Structure 1
Amino acid sequence: MMFKNLKLTPLKKWVLGSLLGIFLIFGFFYLSIYWGWWGEIPDTAELRDLKQNEATEVFSAEGKLIGKYYIFDRQPVLYEELPQHLIDALIATEDVRFYEHSGIDNRSLLRVFIKTILMGDESSGGGSTITLQLAKNLFGRNDYGKLSIVVNKLRESIIARRLEDIYTKEEIIGLYFNTVPFSDNTYGIESAARKFFSTTTKDLNLIQAATLVGTLKASHYYNPRLFPQRSLERRNVVLHQMNKYGFLPSEAYVEARAKPIDLNYQYFNNNGGVAPYFRSQLKKELARILDTLKTKDGEPYNIYRDGLQVHTTIDYEMQIMAEEAMEEHMAALQKQFEKAYGNNPPWMRDDLLQEALEESEQYRSLAAAGWKKEKILDSLHRKTDMEFFDWGKKKLIKASIADSLQHYMKFLNMGMVNLDPANGAVKSWVGGINHRYFKYDHVMQSRRQIGSTFKPVVYTAAVEAGIDPCTYYSVREVTYGGGWTPKNSGNEEEDPYMNYPMSTALAQSINTIAVKVLYDVGLQNVIDQAKKMMFPEDIPKYPSIALGTAQMSAADLAGSYASFANRGKAAKPYYLTRIEDKYGNTIAEFKPQVAKTPAFSSTTGQVMIEMMKETVNSGTAARLRFKYQLPNDIAGKTGTTQDNKDGWFVGITPHLISVTWAGTDDPRIGFPSTYIGQGANSALPAFALFMQKMNANPHFKEITQANFPAPSSTVQMMLNCEPEKRDNFLDRLFSKSDKPKKEKKEKKDGLFSKIKGIFKKKN
């Protein structure tokens, strides 16, 4: 034993041995982090390249900048642009011995250990230096379970030492100000200066600089927009620190602390701007693509550092108009929605709120940590300052997590996508009502039941199978195997002896007839037809698909509907055209994916366009004409799902397919009535407002003034039939109520032809 020759008591030997053991364990633990066993630590070469980091830029089809992906250089500034009082405020507040240490302030760490850890004095301050904070800003933190804080701190200390070896103190200050997060998810001093004071970094005055530096302690808690008094008090702490350490004379300090904070706020960040939902989806796609590409050095491309240029199919002006149309419609629809529910809306029910709480991330996290249910619920009902979204305004109130869940449960959301049917190029993408508060994308990410927008597939299969579009079907309800009785929407009692041709049935979206047509053409034939049109492979093999029980995204539905305007060929939605490196060299290029063979004949395609034009002219989408006065050549289809959970509208023009969905994110809450929830009311108006804006812009006349080709004489003859026909006495006498009634198109309406038809074999 190493203590054998020492005159130590057994207790002292045990203590020394224990200390040595702890030292060895800690040393090995530190080395395991240093060697990268807990995750790779950037080496000197990678850290040297920080100064060359460039943001990836995203461009519209016209070459307009619509977004960036970056670590810190959204709007980088040079050290020379930083005013001295800004630097002084940072040093005095965050790291007064910054110029004396080499990345780690041992004196501060010792103070933290003694006062904070041993004595429990939380006011003693932290031991984190500017360089340590820079390491955290640049590379973030990982989750290592219970060891997270220790491992991350040691990783940051290693990175901080390396940064100090590579960069001068001035360069570290510059890197810090370009990476540090400020309030409202703002990164970098230049962005913060522009957002909160509508100025540039070099023009920040003392009051503004001290205010921004003050937010660094807790960017949300000291947010000057949300908590002006709290921010003012923190700013004065910064001024006091500057005076204390000799950066600000006492006279200037007294004068400065008496001044108010005068904000000139401009809101812009990654959640705002043009096409935020699209940029979020694009980021995921780029990450997948860049994993397959290598630089000349054999290294993978980095979306945040390599200055890539990403070119997309998005039309900048069309995107803006689509977003404006969505906001205008959804603000009005939300009022209608809440008014219709009255004083007892479902989101105010205790049982529904309880379910939502137990499904929330916060509840599951606390439950996993071993908290009892009562304690969790108490925590989730504890109130604090919160900012709530609402149409037309944002509210700052005292609220709890439970209040927040209840508030956001009531909101309707929307997905809206427009694409070119010729190649599937996405021209605009509206994934939701506000990306800051609702991250879930309703264009590509969400898959919902598509309702009656599936009916054109049923009728397409029927026409392809040789069923005459003027074949008449009874509107009567029929009970099928398993006791399933499809019903039509609406409250008015229908005449059971009324018959409609398929053209009218589609225009009026009659459920009972859609199912009868599916049974006539065959379930498998309908599914096969859908697959030819690029509908998903997982279409349920049940007759209920005639009413839209299949699920798919708005983007995929648009690609399938492209077949109606693209000579029968569906197109997979695409939005990336090429990726270039920072020198302009193309490193990846993307082509449209259009079906090689038509999904149906030219005649069937013409028939379906004419039938869906009738939907717009006199059917369920007629408000496009009588309310919104749209003169465009438009075909379309509305859709509403069971219990009014989803409203759909698909608009078809010769050069644009538009799909719009509206509904709630919570499946337990639907529209209170079909009147409000039907696609014609919940989804169609957004398309109508969008088209009005398009019509007013001469730039889009090639789209808005385009016409479908005139149908052939054969197609005109196929569709030449009366829109409805009622059974006469003999028809009613001999008809069977338990089977779908179907009659051949009649050339004459005379009594003889009607009597003769009675004795014809029913199909």
Structure 2
Amino acid sequence: MATKKAKSEAKKTSFKKYILWFWGLFTAGVLLLVLLFLLAGWGVFGKMPEVDQLENPETNLATEVFSSDGQTLGKYYNENRTPIKYEDLPDNLINALVATEDIRYYDHSGIDAFGTLRAVTYLGTKGGASTLSQQLAKQLFHGEGSQNIIARISQKMKEWIIAVRLERSYTKEEILAMYFNVYDFNNNAVGVRSASRIYFGKEPDELKIEEAAVLAGMFKNSSLYNPRRNPEGVTNRRNVVLLQMKKANYISEKEKDSLQAIPLKIDYHPESHQSGLATYFRMYLRDFLKDWAKENPKPEGGTYNIYRDGLKVYTSIDSRMQKYAESAVERHMKNLQAKFDEQNKKNNTAPFRGVSEGDIKRIIDRAMKNSDRWRQMKAKDIDEEKIIASFDKKTDMRVFSWKSETDIDTTMTPRDSILYYKSFLNAGMMSMTPQTGEVRAWVGGINFKHFKYEHVKQARRQVGSTFKPFLYATAIDQLHLSPCYEQPNTLHTIPAGKHGVTQDWTPKNSNGKYGGMVTLKNALANSLNTISARLMDKVGPEPVIDLIDKLGVDTENIDPVAAIALGSVDLSVFEMVSAYSTFANKGVYVKPVIVTRIEDKNGTILYQHVPESRDVMSEEAAYVTLNLMEGVTQGGSGTRLRTTWSPAYYKNVVTGHPYEFKNAIAGKTGTTQNQSDGWFMGIVPNLVTGVWVGGEDRSVHFPGIRYGQGATMALPIWGLYMKDVYDDEELEVSKEDFERPENLSIEVDCSGYEEGDEDKTEEELAKEREEEEMMESLGGL
């Protein structure tokens, strides 16, 4: 008996010992866990964020660029993140995320105890334990976890601590908004606003339930569930989200079934520095903003960074007019390029003309040394001979082509690719409201990805006859001349030593016709060089240069010589449009504006545009100059803007568009020597637009005047653009006459002076004008 009793007591003692050991180990484990959390909180396992960091998490915010009509033109970013407030998030999006990622989100304080126990019990096979607060902690402060188990445990503890601190510092709504704003959805879509715009082409509050489900599904793994690469997987994941929304009673069974049956529909709108609307404008704006930032430091010190400070930039560009401008350039240049390629088929030096083999070699060598390939290899100290040799090795590349909506995959040598890109004609176009100086449209080229050189502000090209209105305006302002003022259409010589002429200068008319008296209006419409010479002799080059200087033109490199009367100077489209705008603004020059306001991420105004203007010429002189230029579209090279049908003579010419404009239009075409540059400047009362077309090199041009004149190369872009602009009545672009000044003292009705063209057919006028322009090109400027 004693033995049994002793054994029983020994068992009780042993069992008691086990219980004590269990509770001891349990207590030690809890204390160890508490200690580990304390150590993690104290930063022993790595730096923990301070409270102020939690209140102000460091996220890169994109600078957003807005059009004057409230549309997003583009962004500048390291990460394409544009924050959105909780109140701007649609309920469907919030419900989809909560139902799928954290169904007890509104009931826990950062850590889901039930989810954690479930994850531990089933080793994660029935779902993880991370709450949205924990996932936000991971996204904001230390990214993805390490594969090392110890480091992962340490990181998990940090996530729990940060999640609890987040819950203490922010409301549930604020945490949701932060999570939506920091998640990377791939394809340059950081944050749900960027993702919504990129994958569906709309703002988040416009998302349908099934679209919100797609984005919510991407939170699981945006690389795996990428709509562009894995549409089937994304559809399945979307349907899982919809199922979860039904389980959470956010949608009904019937809604779930109908939504799951909808095919996946993605409307992909890439947002990058090289795509989207107004790419060339955004490139220029980027440099403008960088210069502004240097001159306007932050109040607390430091410099604004356009890639991460979340600025809001409001521009003068109208997104509708920008679209019409880009469309006009694309439609015309695609057709014009086809004609250019056709005429180069039998050109042994294509795409160049009128140059020697040595000149071509120099052009190619210069292009090679300006290429990214050359710079990158030079930076690696690669021998120059090896660099040159690399340009003759075939390589896979993607090239631009008008024949495809996307780049074409091909194989060619880098040297051949230089020749290939040299063969393209390019364009520059700008449209501006003359009364305010607001630039409404800016097209710097045909494709920013492949042609980086910008042709509105950066490029300066010879302007030809589009310079003549400045000469006429000077004569009108100084001498009070009328459009009806007559001059003899005979050769006029400016002797050597006068007006910067080094030897006797006797310019000839491009049409080779002389004799009789002609009015100034007729002379400008037909670009008669004899009359330009006579006017230059009367006023001299200095007053003309002084005038264009007041019109915003950089005159530093313009010599005061008589030849400027025929357009020998190089100017930019930007300068030409701003200068021509003064005529439409009653003689008052208004400096062009592209940025109206800049705000910081909190909406504080950092910059507000202040208009700059000055009186340049009398209202009367400006109106008379406009009246002169109206003659260009009534009986000169711009008459094709008035056509109601395409003349048979032009049936094979790319410019055979029936524009049918009947409103007041002042304008001027310009064609430079060898057809290297084609210009058209068009003015209506509240919109001035300039267009230039030509090759990158002046030796890249049409062989003849049929396609190589400004009326064929540039004018059609203006015509196509203005037709779209006029069709959009919301833009309110004027079709009225130019406002006549009160007490006009200069005679403008020249009906009794004009040579009669009324008996000629439209085809005869067109053919005659083409012959004149051909002679103008062959005869020089």
Task: Note whether the superposition's TM-score is higher than 0.5.
Answer: yes
Establish whether residue 675 from structure 1 lines up as the match of residue 693 from structure 2.
no
Q: Which amino acid letter does the alignment assign opposite residue 268 of structure 1?
A: P
Match of 2:251 in 1: none
- Residues 263/384 of structure 1: CA separation in 2 closer, same or farther (3 Å cut): farther
Q: Which amino acid letter does the alignment assign opposite residue 551 of structure 1?
A: D
Give the drift of 1:480. Answer: 5.1
- Residues 206/604 of structure 1: CA separation in 2 closer, same or farther (3 Å cut): closer
Q: Is the 8 A contact 2:62 2:75 kept in 1?
A: yes
- Residues 546/50 of structure 1: CA separation in 2 closer, same or farther (3 Å cut): farther
Q: Which amino acid letter does the alignment assign opposite residue 72 of structure 1?
A: E
Q: Distance in 1 between matches of 2:384 and 2:224?
A: 44
Give the drift of 1:568. Answer: 0.6
Q: Is the 8 A contact 2:509 2:530 kept in 1?
A: no
- 2:690 pairs, out of 652, 659, 662, with 659
Establish whether residue 459 from structure 1 lines up as the match of residue 463 from structure 2.
no
Match of 1:303 in 2: 306
Establish whether residue 578 from structure 1 lines up as the match of residue 597 from structure 2.
yes
Q: Distance in 2 between matches of 1:711 and 1:507?
A: 26
Q: Is the 8 A contact 2:185 2:218 kept in 1?
A: no
Give the drift of 1:678. Answer: 1.8
Q: Distance in 2 between matches of 1:376 and 1:263?
A: 47
The Cα offsets for residues 169-223 of structure 1, whole Å up to 9 and x where unpaired, read as: x99xx999967986xx78789979997999855435999835979xxxxxxxxx9
Match of 2:288 in 1: 285
Match of 1:507 in 2: 525
Q: Is the 8 A contact 1:486 1:511 kept in 2?
A: no
Match of 1:527 in 2: 545
- Residues 587/211 of structure 1: CA separation in 2 closer, same or farther (3 Å cut): closer
The Cα offsets for residues 522-544 of structure 1, whole Å up to 9 and x where unpaired, read as: 12222222223232232222212
- Residues 544/267 of structure 1: CA separation in 2 closer, same or farther (3 Å cut): same
Instruction: Write out aligned runs for 1:711-722 (5 A).
Output: 714-716=745-747, 719=750, 722=753
Q: Distance in 1 between matches of 2:680 and 2:742?
A: 24
Q: Is the 8 A contact 1:556 1:573 kept in 2?
A: no
Match of 2:618 in 1: 601
Establish whether residue 637 from structure 1 lines up as the match of residue 668 from structure 2.
yes
Q: Distance in 2 between matches of 1:422 and 1:530?
A: 18
The Cα offsets for residues 465-505 of structure 1, whole Å up to 9 and x where unpaired, read as: 32644131324375753446565575x5x234354322211
- Residues 281/55 of structure 1: CA separation in 2 closer, same or farther (3 Å cut): same
Corresponding residue SS for 1:291? helix
Match of 1:363 in 2: 374
Instruction: Write out aligned runs for 1:683-694 (5 A).
Output: 683-694=714-725
- Residues 180/447 of structure 1: CA separation in 2 closer, same or farther (3 Å cut): farther
Number of residue equivalences: 572
Q: Distance in 1 between matches of 2:607 and 2:181?
A: 34
- Single out whichever of 714-723 and 386-395 deviates more from structure 2: 714-723
Instruction: Write out aligned runs for 1:602-617 (5 A).
Output: 602-617=619-634
Corresponding residue SS for 2:682? strand
Give the drift of 1:49. Answer: 5.6
Q: Is the 8 A contact 1:621 1:680 kept in 2?
A: yes
Give the drift of 1:631. Answer: 1.5
Corresponding residue SS for 1:54? coil
Match of 2:573 in 1: 554
Q: Distance in 2 between matches of 1:263 and 1:99?
A: 40
Match of 2:75 in 1: 68
- 2:332 pairs, out of 329, 339, 346, with 329
Establish whether residue 343 from structure 1 lines up as the match of residue 316 from structure 2.
no
- Residues 475/666 of structure 1: CA separation in 2 closer, same or farther (3 Å cut): same
Q: Is the 8 A contact 1:76 1:178 kept in 2?
A: no
Give the drift of 1:704. Answer: 3.5
Q: Is the 8 A contact 1:414 1:663 kept in 2?
A: yes
Instruction: Write out aligned runs for 1:418-497 (5 A).
Output: 418-466=431-479, 468-469=481-482, 470-476=485-491, 478=493, 481=496, 482-483=502-503, 487=507, 494-497=512-515
Corresponding residue SS for 1:465? helix
Q: Which amino acid letter does the alignment assign opposite residue 489 of structure 2?
A: S
Establish whether residue 382 from structure 1 lines up as the match of residue 400 from structure 2.
no
Corresponding residue SS for 1:66? strand
- Residues 274/365 of structure 1: CA separation in 2 closer, same or farther (3 Å cut): closer
Q: Is the 8 A contact 2:340 2:702 kept in 1?
A: yes
Q: Is the 8 A contact 2:183 2:192 kept in 1?
A: yes
Give the drift of 1:272. Answer: 2.2
Q: Is the 8 A contact 1:181 1:188 kept in 2?
A: no
Give the drift of 1:602. Answer: 2.7
Establish whether residue 569 from structure 1 lines up as the match of residue 572 from structure 2.
no
- 1:622 pairs, out of 639, 644, 661, with 639
Q: Which amino acid letter does the alignment assign opposite residue 609 of structure 2?
A: F
Corresponding residue SS for 1:303? coil
Over the aligned positions, Cα root-mean-square deviation in angstroms equals 4.4
Give the drift of 1:455. Answer: 0.6
Instruction: Write out aligned runs for 1:581-592 (5 A).
Output: 581-592=600-611
Q: Which amino acid letter does the alignment assign opposite residue 60 of structure 1?
A: S
Q: Which amino acid letter does the alignment assign opposite residue 390 of structure 1?
A: S
The Cα offsets for residues 612-671 of structure 1, whole Å up to 9 and x where unpaired, read as: 000111111111112421122110111122332221111111111111111122233233
Q: Is the 8 A contact 1:556 1:572 kept in 2?
A: no
Q: Which amino acid letter does the alignment assign opposite residue 589 of structure 2?
A: A
Q: Is the 8 A contact 2:487 2:531 kept in 1?
A: no
- Residues 181/459 of structure 1: CA separation in 2 closer, same or farther (3 Å cut): same
- Residues 369/500 of structure 1: CA separation in 2 closer, same or farther (3 Å cut): farther
Q: Distance in 1 between matches of 2:744 and 2:195?
A: 66
- Residues 468/381 of structure 1: CA separation in 2 closer, same or farther (3 Å cut): same
- 1:209 pairs, out of 194, 217, 223, with 223
- Single out whichever of 480-489 and 571-580 deviates more from structure 2: 480-489
Q: Distance in 1 between matches of 2:403 and 2:434?
A: 35
Q: Distance in 1 between matches of 2:304 and 2:285?
A: 16
- 1:316 pairs, out of 307, 319, 332, with 319
Q: Is the 8 A contact 1:73 1:178 kept in 2?
A: no
Give the drift of 1:724. Answer: 5.3
Match of 1:518 in 2: 536
Q: Gapped runs of 5+ residues in structure 1? A: 1-42, 88-93, 104-130, 132-161, 214-222, 226-261, 726-763
- Single out whichever of 294-303 and 654-663 deviates more from structure 2: 294-303
Q: Distance in 2 between matches of 1:710 and 1:591?
A: 27
Q: Distance in 1 between matches of 2:163 and 2:696?
A: 49
Q: Which amino acid letter does the alignment assign opposite residue 537 of structure 1?
A: T
Q: Distance in 2 between matches of 1:624 and 1:207?
A: 56
Q: Distance in 2 between matches of 1:499 and 1:186?
A: 67
Q: Which amino acid letter does the alignment assign opposite residue 351 of structure 2?
A: W
